Structure 1
Amino acid sequence: MGLIRLNKIIADAGIASRRAADQLILDGRVSVDGNVVIELGGKYDPEISNIKVDGESLRVNKSKTYLAFHKPVGVISTMSDPEGRSNLGDYFTDRKDRLFHVGRLDKDSEGLILLTNDGELAHRATHPSYGIEKKYLVEIEGEFGKAIADQMLQGVKLEDGLARALKVILVRSVSKNHHWIEIIIHEGRYHIIRRLIESLGLKVLRLIRIDFGPITLGDMKAGRHRVLNSQELINLQNLLKLNN
């Protein structure tokens, strides 16, 4: 297999993203052939070296898993929860491969979330520099028109900086104060869509992520998942400049 950076080995094993793997190393939780490694940048051959995280040997993933999942409302975006709350891991208890989620959706939101054991893809897909666009279908309460849409496009200053939509489309109006809109955004800040909309005096009734880059939710029902097809995976890898 050859020499590979230690954080990439950990990520490829499905333990954590490369950034999180660096922190594991700095925290002294990673050992190679019995020796704790606390410096970043080391390269090893995972088929020769015995690499452990928290005392557990890594298993090199020879096959990759890429899943699209429709997260239901009320499910938190973690693979386990010590408090026993409904989480993503509850839907994948029969899988032997160690999955982790790509990004998050808050508990009250639903829709498309990706799961994989490919740490490099997950790292890039959530890194701001790649600017993956996400599309949301949002049910809102309040008056909505061009002026509000323009404000979303120009940006609204929130407590943690400017929030701006890349595209806003009125899908349909149920009544004067009840609308469905589509919003495209590339950010991943906490509750960014909800905070953007609510800062303009509107109320979010329902929030559904329908696209993640080139991956589309389609008509998949809540709680169901599917394997990404080869073209979807190629499109995503090309977007993330992954040519494997």
Structure 2
Amino acid sequence: MNASDPRSPGHRSKRPSRKERGRQTPAPVVDAHRPDGVRLQKILAEAGLGSRRACEQLITEGRVTVDGQTVRELGTRIDPATQTVSVDTMPITAHTDKVYLAFNKPAGVVTAMSDPEGRRCLADYLRDRPERLFHVGRLDYETEGLLLITNDGELSNRLTHPSYEISKTYLAEVRGPVPKDAGARLREGIELEDGISRVDSFKLVDSTPGYALVEVVLHSGRNRIVRRLFDAVGTPVQRLVRTQFGPIPLAEQRQGKVRDLRPDEVGALMEAVRL
């Protein structure tokens, strides 16, 4: 028998001994969690693997892997666009049919998918979308700025429910000068016909004779609330733009344009309403 034959007496095997294998450094465990991602149980539920609670049980039982790593933490978030999810070693489709859009609404557009009077509406900007979409909250006919559009009913309901207190930021161009006590009055609360309403913050951005630019943040979603508040302090709004909805800013998005929210933005919205 050839001495080089691994079966020959005295031949040293290239296979590491048990002791050597014990000293080998294990492969590093890759953390599957993505802080700005979507909750793993939500992705499983949307993939048709049962209710949210049933999907949580799959996770705690150790039956779910992300990129080959077993995940047992219910708070785990992932990016479905870049990570692979498997249940009982079987890959699932992590990409869901949910749509999350940001629209920079111009003035003179109705916040509805159709209008019996024939005015411009959201459908005029979403004609190429096959999904059944709806808007999150409203902007009145003359108000401009950020409007979220989705087909995720649960997220939409939470974003508009008063208990979650999702903030909205507006820039208001008003007739100046702004009374010195306007900010204090608006923060303390103004009695309107449907109850007291207040802003969370008030900032005078710019002021010239007969004109002022004011930024306000509030979480109320009542109809025309910003315009009514400024009317109450004697500074009628001439132009109003919503610049932020919760964690999503309008930024440099052009007016009349629709864009898909990034995964981290969707994750931030989910986090804001504890999904």
**For the superposition of Structure 1 and Structure 2, which TM-score range results when normalised by the shorter chain?**
0.7 to 0.9
C-alpha distance in 2 between matches for 1:146 and 1:115: 38
Aligned partner of 1:232 in structure 2 is 265
RMSD: 1.6
Which of the two has higher C-alpha Rg?
A: 2
Aligned partner of 1:216 in structure 2 is 249
Pick which of 228-237 and 105-114 moved more.
Answer: 228-237
Aligned partner of 2:182 in structure 1 is 148
Is 1:183 the counterpart of 2:211? The answer is no
Aligned-residue identity in percent: 47
1:2–1:220 Cα change, 3 Å: closer
Q: Cα deviation per residue 1:99-147 (whole Å; 9 max; x = unaligned)?
A: 1000000001000000001111011111111110000000000321431
Aligned partner of 1:8 in structure 2 is none
Aligned partner of 1:66 in structure 2 is 100
Q: Cα deviation per residue 1:48-71 (whole Å; 9 max; x = unaligned)?
A: xxxxxxxxxxxxx94111000000
Gaps of 5+ in 2: 1-47, 53-94
Choose which of 128, 139, 154 in structure 1 pairs with 2:173.
139
The AA in structure 1 aligned to 2:183 is: A
Q: Cα deviation per residue 1:74-109 (whole Å; 9 max; x = unaligned)?
A: 001101123322111110011111110000000010
Q: Cα deviation per residue 1:15-43 (whole Å; 9 max; x = unaligned)?
A: xxxxxxxxxxxxxxxxxxxxxxxxxxxxx
Give the structure with the larger strand fraction: 1
Q: Cα deviation per residue 1:163-185 (whole Å; 9 max; x = unaligned)?
A: 10100001111x13210010001
Q: What is the aligned residue count?
A: 186
Is 1:199 the counterpart of 2:216? The answer is no
Is 1:87 the counterpart of 2:116? The answer is no
Aligned partner of 1:36 in structure 2 is none
Aligned partner of 1:98 in structure 2 is 132
C-alpha distance in 2 between matches for 1:171 and 1:142: 12
C-alpha distance in 1 between matches for 2:206 and 2:265: 29
TM-score by length of 1: 0.73
| 1:165-184 superposed matches below 5 A | 165-173=199-207, 175-184=208-217
Give the secondary structure class of the aligned counterpart of 1:198. Answer: helix
Give the secondary structure class of the aligned counterpart of 2:157. Answer: helix
Give the secondary structure class of the aligned counterpart of 1:151. Answer: helix
C-alpha distance in 2 between matches for 1:80 and 1:121: 23
TM-score by length of 2: 0.65
Runs of 4+ in 1 over 3 A off after TM superposition: 2-5
The AA in structure 1 aligned to 2:125 is: Y
Q: Return the offset for 1:221.
A: 1.3
C-alpha distance in 1 between matches for 2:123 and 2:273: 26
The AA in structure 2 aligned to 1:162 is: I
